[in-house]
């Protein structure tokens, strides 16, 4: 088996799962431990990632670099990699708008890197059939990245056409999939505010049985991820504006997710708590209040 050196920036929950499949496919995967949390270091150790002394070493060693980070950081990460002199294949697999993807590609292309637009759909890939990696851009580079994940739980789906197509598809799917959670939470909070939450859940159980509106406990999974979903909504709004669509849906969802940021990576948060977080605290009755 020919060894392929790949860099991952940075192995959070999603990035670590992506890196694990690259390792399983025979790649030597490098990462940057400096400044990372203990949880990130544990993930990297469990997967078998190779520590780089700095970004320059990672850039010199890797033929492919995968960027899997919060969308708000995607351009900054790309600029750092460009400054390190990277000239290989750079895969931006973040939830960014086609417009921002084009800026990322421009930054890296100036230094001689080949950029591939990536869009991951589904949860962190741990079993087959749940997650996809859509890829667009330079066809030979797309083929190399597809080969890296062929036969893994992160199924590669090459798209014909230029950079921006994979990002557009990713955000189009996320605009429905994630805003649905915000809409269900808003409906539940509205019903709760008027004392009819139980009745709403009963109604939805018959009319919309497979939705978070029918079972608000399904909202819980959004709580720990809301800190990442909020900037993703900003990217969706930007993508909508680019084609003349209303941006209000995504902006309102971003406001909803902002109210859940305190639950970052909290696996114990409940749907009931998330619903309560959307309503302002009731004022305490003071002296003389009737």
**pTM beyond 0.75, yes or no:** yes
Q: Residue 113: helix, strand or coil by DSSP? A: coil
When pLDDT is averaged across residues 245-257 and rounded to a whole number, the result is 97
Distances in Å between the alpha carbon of 194 and those of 42, 69, 102, 191, 200?
Answer: 46, 40, 46, 5, 11
Name which of 62, 58, 72 is nearest 22 in CA terms: 62
Report residue 238's pLDDT band, with 50, 70 and 90 as the boundaries: very high
pLDDT in tens, 153-170: 999 999 999 999 999 999
SS3 66: strand
Task: Tell me phi and psi for residue 64, to 5 degrees.
Answer: -135, 135
- Tokens describing residue 152: 């893994």
Which pLDDT does position 248 carry in this prediction?
97
**86-130: per-residue pLDDT in tens?**
999 999 999 999 999 999 999 999 999 999 999 999 999 988 889
Cis preceding linkage at 141, omega within 30: no
Report DSSP state, residue 268.
T
* Mean pLDDT estimate for the chain: 93
| Alpha-carbon span 122 to 80, nearest angstrom | 28
Q: What is the 3-state secondary structure (H, E, C) of 142-162?
A: HHHHHHHHCCCCEEEEECCCC
Q: Please report the DSSP string for 84-103 in residue order.
A: TT--SEEEE-S---HHHHHH
pLDDT at 1: 36
Q: What contacts 7, CB < 8 A, 6 or more positions away?
A: 29, 30, 31, 52, 58, 59, 61, 62, 64, 65, 66
């Amino acid at each position: 088996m020919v060894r392929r050196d790949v860099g991952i920036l940075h192995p959070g929950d999603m990035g670590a799962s992506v890196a694990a499949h690259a390792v399983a496919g025979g790649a030597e995967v490098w990462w940057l431990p400096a400044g990372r949390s203990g949880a990130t270091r544990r993930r990297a150790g469990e997967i078998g990632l190779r520590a780089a002394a700095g970004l320059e070493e990672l850039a010199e060693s890797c033929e492919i670099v995968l960027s899997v980070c919060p969308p708000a950081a995607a351009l900054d990460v790309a600029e750092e990699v460009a400054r390190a002199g990277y000239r290989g294949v750079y895969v931006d697999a973040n939830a960014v708008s086609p417009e921002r993807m084009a800026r990322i590609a421009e930054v890296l292309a100036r230094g001689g890197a080949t950029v591939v637009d990536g869009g991951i759909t589904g949860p962190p890939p741990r079993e087959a059939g749940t997650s996809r990696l859509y890829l667009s851009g330079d066809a030979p580079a797309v083929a190399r990245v597809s080969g890296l994940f062929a036969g893994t739980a992160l199924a590669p789906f090459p798209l014909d056409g230029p950079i921006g197509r994979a990002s557009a598809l990713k955000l189009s799917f996320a605009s429905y999939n994630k805003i649905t959670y915000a809409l269900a939470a808003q409906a539940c909070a509205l019903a709760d505010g008027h004392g009819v939450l139980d009745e709403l859940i009963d109604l939805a159980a018959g009319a919309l049985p497979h939705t978070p509106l029918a079972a608000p406990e399904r909202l819980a999974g959004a709580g720990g991820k809301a800190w990442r979903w909020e900037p993703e909504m900003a990217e969706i709004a930007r993508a909508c504006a680019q084609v003349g669509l209303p941006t209000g849906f995504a902006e309102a969802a971003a406001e909803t997710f902002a109210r859940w940021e305190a639950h970052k990576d909290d696996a114990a948060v409940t749907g009931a708590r998330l619903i309560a977080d959307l309503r302002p605290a009731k004022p305490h009755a003071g002296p003389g209040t009737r």
